[in-house]
Amino acid sequence: MAIKPGRYGQVLWDPAGGTTLVEVLSLNTFTLEGGAELEEVTCFNDTCKVYQPGMPDCKGSLGGFHNSSDLTLWKAANSGTPGTLKLVPNRQEPGYFYQVPAYMSASIDCSLSAPTISGTWGAAGPWLFPGVVVATGATAGLPGTFTPAGASPPQALANMTGIVATPGTNWTVGQHVELGNGLDCHWNGTAWVAGVHP
């Protein structure tokens, strides 16, 4: 890892589960704000205000130039369901990125200069950030586990593509793994299927 310029940044989007991420054209800035929301818990006799972390939060913004050949932001903003957003600070470090299921907004500023676009995004579920272990396999259990050790669960059933099941045969009654969105899935011998194995 090293300090690298932002000129090679990328913003990618998939309106579904993140298996077909495509670069959004003509953007030149993004922000990501992560961390827990602080709740004030100041009590009698405290000498200053006191806070405790509440729910984790993840949100940010995007910006660039209007490009009539790429309406990705507008389609995302008008969608009633979240897509998958991938933010890459420098594509010369392809393993270093932030990825999150997100809702989007979009706006345009048109004047005598080149029209610009901007937007905001907010997480719709848990996010992946540098240092997170990506799951490559899933072992049957009640519930099962993802491998390698410490791997973060894929966010949704659509993200289970490419995850190797152990055993590779049809799992048995009750066996399943828990996804990042709180839902379950299991292996039926040929594919990943929603829910606990019947």
Q: State the CATH number of the domain containing residue 35.
A: 2.30.110.20
One domain for residues 119 and 145: no
Q: How far apart are CA 53 and CA 71, in angstroms?
A: 38
Per the structure, the complete domain to which residue 190 belongs is given by 133-194
For the chain, the helix, strand and coil percentages under 3-state DSSP, each to the nearest 5: 5, 40, 50
One domain for residues 87 and 142: no
In this prediction the pTM is 0.70
Give me the tens of pLDDT residue by residue for the chain, a chain 198 residues long: 588 889 999 999 999 877 899 999 999 999 999 888 889 999 999 999 999 988 888 999 999 999 999 999 999 999 989 999 999 999 988 778 899 999 999 999 999 999 999 999 999 987 878 777 778 999 999 999 999 987 878 878 888 988 999 999 999 999 999 987 788 999 999 999 999 999
Last residue of a domain, one of 105, 123, 141: 123
One domain for residues 19 and 56: yes
One domain for residues 67 and 154: no
User: Which three-class secondary structure state does DSSP give residue 157?
Assistant: helix
One domain for residues 49 and 20: yes
